[in-house]
Amino acid sequence: MQDALACAFNENKMFTGDAVMIPALPESLTYMKPFLEFLESFPPDAINEDIDPHLLEDALRSRLSTGNPHGALEGDAQLLEDWLASFDSSEHPAHWIVGYLSYVLPEDIDPSIPAAPVEPLDPEIEQMVDRLESIASRTNNAETTAPAPPRIQMDVPVGWTSHVASGITELKNGRSWATLMVINLQFFELMHQQHSAMANMTLPVSFGKNSGFKFLYPNSEMANVTDYLLEVAGGYVRIRLSLSNITDNEQQVERCFESLKL
């Protein structure tokens, strides 16, 4: 029994029921563990927008009670996403939390937290924001206190499967995977700054009427990961693509981005 336990656990890894070794959750994110355990109690196809986030919101209120709440929320979202990118996490329930954190604002969780000051945008991003606000002003006539994240619509690459949960579309083909999530304007600007700082190459891209940025990391441990920030019909989308199959073709997947909309 002791030998079995020694194989299942070490100080840097944790063991899942499917005999998959994954890195331990970063220490600063351990406040999420109760909610992660709550998510793990559901079958994968039941982890969707109907999940009650109150347990996570209670933990976040304590997390955001000191320091810079906006920086803490954005930093935790990035740290959690980097953790998920460090192993084959295409079916991990923590993607639900990433989607939630990318859409919610600290003042939504705790009304006593003031909204973050708006900083000037780069001219190229400001043009995207203006176009999106113009679309929103023409289409958003109904008032709502807590709008649900819009759903992503996109043609699925041949041979890939698709699963949707809480604003996140998960694509999978063997060991290759992609996650597509709806993000708000504030998160778009933050991710543009962070990816630009980390990437070895930042490229402007367009896929049909959709346009934005592509981030490559060939000289790092994320060499097989490509990130995208795109403005699409109806909003903004962040994409993370990881190709592990020899037969997978990046251009084949990117061609499907032309059909991407909210």
pLDDT of residue 4: 36
- Rounded to whole angstroms, how far apart are CA atoms 237 and 180? 7
pLDDT of residue 1: 36
Residue 217 lies in a domain: yes
Residue 230 lies in a domain: yes
Q: Looking at the structure, tell me whether residues 28 and 131 fall in a common domain.
A: no
CB neighbour list of residue 262: distance below 8 Å, 6 or more residues apart: 150, 151, 152, 153, 182, 232, 233, 234, 235, 237
Residue 117 lies in a domain: no
Residue 193 lies in a domain: yes
Q: Looking at the structure, tell me whether residues 80 and 182 fall in a common domain.
A: no
Amino acid of residue 38: F
CATH at residue 188:
3.40.1000
Q: Looking at the structure, tell me whether residues 165 and 251 fall in a common domain.
A: yes
pLDDT of residue 106: 78
Q: Looking at the structure, tell me whether residues 216 and 249 fall in a common domain.
A: yes
Boundary of a domain, candidates 109, 134, 155:
109
User: What is the residue range of 17's domain?
Assistant: 2-109
Q: Looking at the structure, tell me whether residues 10 and 99 fall in a common domain.
A: yes
pLDDT of residue 116: 60
Domain count, the chain: 2
Residue 208 lies in a domain: yes
Q: Looking at the structure, tell me whether residues 89 and 28 fall in a common domain.
A: yes
Residue 118 lies in a domain: no
Mean per-residue pLDDT pooled into runs of 10, the chain (262 residues): 36 47 87 88 82 86 79 88 88 88 78 66 68 68 56 90 79 90 88 90 95 90 89 93 79 93 88
pLDDT of residue 6: 35
